């Protein structure tokens, strides 16, 4: 997996195709998608244009997607994966992740504004009875057996669920993708992932567009001294941990700049200063997204 990855969460549908093409043009080869981002058909249009009839170009890409909460039943996982492949206009994913460790009632496919969440008459999220994460993992394993994806993994899984997953997995999870940045470094979670042989991917490495790491004085002073941007410092910090990182942008110059962070070298002193910024600050609070503290 190329460690410096490009993310499309919150990329508006009409800007996504050009953003992905720009990312590919400047050198990104790891593209992170998800059905619930509701822009997989736009990403797919970019892939189709980039790959055209040159299969070698597909082989150079590392493409991730994620099964949404409403598709956790075993058969729905496979159906959701097939929908994603159709939307992305590819034959096989490199990595398919369980997006969140929560099963919600199936609302139909594809995932749209009308199908991404179901609520009961009280306005609470509709959870189905009887769908466990083990059942969901069996669906993920079936995706591998059917050749729909090379590898499978999880996202937003805390330590306890990872340890449980290790007990029932017949195909081991390759990756745990979670929010991580200098304000929320996930040191313990990362070290558990490493000890059980899972790669760690950091999303929201720039703070997800919220007030936070990008505005930090220490980060900006360091960036100024090196003549680079704050975003490049944040990405370089993530990469130095050995994790892969995902930065989203729909701005062509920023996309180029973020990819160029692959070459930024931080000194031990820089890392020490950046590590000291940790403050357990999440920028992705699920209460903001669906009113339930599923990250807690």
Tell me the C-alpha distance between 138 and 80, whole Å: 14
- Residue whose CB is less far from ligand A2P, 139 or 207: 207
The closest alpha carbon to 155, from 29, 284, 262, belongs to 284
Interface with ligand A2P (CB under 6 A), residue from 108, 251, 276, 279 = 251
Name the residues annotated as catalytic.
37
- Residue whose CB is less far from ligand A2P, 19 or 81: 19
Question: According to the binding rule CB under 6 A, does residue 185 interact with ligand A2P?
Answer: no
Q: How many residues bind ligand A2P (CB under 6 A)?
A: 18
The C-alpha angle with vertex 228 and arms to 223 and 233, in degrees rounded to 5, equals 55
Tracing tokens 């619930």 back to the chain, one arrives at: 36
CA 153 centroid distance within chain = 11
Alpha carbon distance, N-terminus to C-terminus of the chain = 29
3-class SS at 268? helix
Question: According to the binding rule CB under 6 A, does residue 261 interact with ligand A2P?
Answer: no
Interface with ligand A2P (CB under 6 A), residue from 84, 185, 204, 241 = 204
Question: According to the binding rule CB under 6 A, does residue 34 interact with ligand A2P?
Answer: no
Instruction: Return the number of other C-beta atoms located less than 10 Å from residue 224's C-beta.
Output: 12
Tell me the C-alpha distance between 154 and 174, whole Å: 8
Q: Specify the stretch interacting with ligand A2P by CB under 6 A; choose among 120-128, 134-142, 162-170, 251-259.
A: 251-259
Tell me the C-alpha distance between 73 and 145, whole Å: 17
Q: Specify the stretch interacting with ligand A2P by CB under 6 A; choose among 52-60, 124-132, 219-227, 250-258.
A: 250-258
State the nearest-atom distance from the C-beta of 159 to ligand A2P, in Å. Answer: 23
The closest alpha carbon to 97, from 66, 69, 123, 125, belongs to 66
Question: According to the binding rule CB under 6 A, does residue 17 interact with ligand A2P?
Answer: no
Q: Specify the stretch interacting with ligand A2P by CB under 6 A; choose among 130-138, 139-147, 156-164, 207-215.
A: 207-215
Tell me the C-alpha distance between 133 and 236, whole Å: 34
State the nearest-atom distance from the C-beta of 205 to ligand A2P, in Å. Answer: 5
The interface with ligand A2P within residues 39-58 (CB under 6 A) comprises none
Q: Which residue is nearest to ligand A2P (CB)?
A: 209
Instruction: Enter the tokens of residue 57.
Output: 């170009």
The interface with ligand A2P within residues 212-241 (CB under 6 A) comprises 214, 229, 231
State the nearest-atom distance from the C-beta of 242 to ligand A2P, in Å. Answer: 19
Tracing tokens 């736009």 back to the chain, one arrives at: 42
Asked if 104 contacts 127 with a C-beta cutoff of 8 angstroms, the reply is yes
Instruction: Return the number of other C-beta atoms located less than 10 Å from residue 83's C-beta.
Output: 18
Q: Specify the stretch interacting with ligand A2P by CB under 6 A; choose among 73-81, 86-94, 144-152, 252-260.
A: 252-260
Question: According to the binding rule CB under 6 A, does residue 8 interact with ligand A2P?
Answer: no
| Residue numbers at the binding site for ligand A2P (CB under 6 A) | 7, 204-209, 214, 229, 231, 247-251, 254, 257-258
């Amino acid at each position: 997996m190329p460690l410096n990855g490009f993310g499309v969460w919150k990329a508006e549908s009409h800007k996504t195709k050009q953003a992905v093409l720009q990312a590919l043009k400047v050198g990104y080869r790891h593209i992170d998608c998800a059905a619930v981002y509701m822009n997989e058909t736009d990403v797919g249009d970019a892939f189709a244009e980039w790959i055209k009839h040159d299969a070698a170009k597909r082989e150079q890409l590392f493409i991730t997607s994620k099964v949404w909460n409403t598709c956790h039943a075993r058969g729905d996982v496979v159906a959701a994966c097939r929908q994603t492949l159709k939307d992305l206009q590819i034959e096989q994913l490199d990595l398919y992740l369980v997006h969140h460790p929560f099963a919600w009632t199936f609302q139909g496919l594809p995932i749209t504004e009308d199908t991404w969440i179901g609520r009961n008459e009280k306005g609470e999220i509709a959870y189905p009875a009887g769908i466990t994460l083990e059942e969901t993992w069996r669906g993920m394993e079936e995706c591998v057996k059917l050749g729909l994806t090379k590898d499978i993994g999880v996202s937003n899984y805390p330590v306890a669920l990872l340890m449980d997953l290790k007990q029932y997995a017949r195909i081991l999870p390759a990756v745990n993708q979670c929010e991580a940045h200098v304000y929320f470094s996930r040191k313990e979670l990362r070290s558990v992932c490493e000890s059980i042989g899972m790669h760690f991917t950091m999303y929201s490495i720039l703070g997800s567009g919220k007030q936070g790491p990008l505005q930090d004085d220490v980060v900006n002073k360091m960036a100024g001294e090196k003549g680079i941007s704050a975003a490049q410092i944040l990405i370089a910090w993530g990469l130095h941990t050995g994790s892969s990182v995902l930065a989203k942008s729909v701005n062509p110059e920023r996309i180029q700049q973020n990819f160029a962070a692959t070459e930024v070298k931080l000194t031990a002193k820089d890392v020490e200063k950046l590590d000291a910024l940790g403050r357990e600050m999440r920028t992705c609070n699920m209460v903001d997204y669906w009113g339930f503290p599923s990250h807690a």
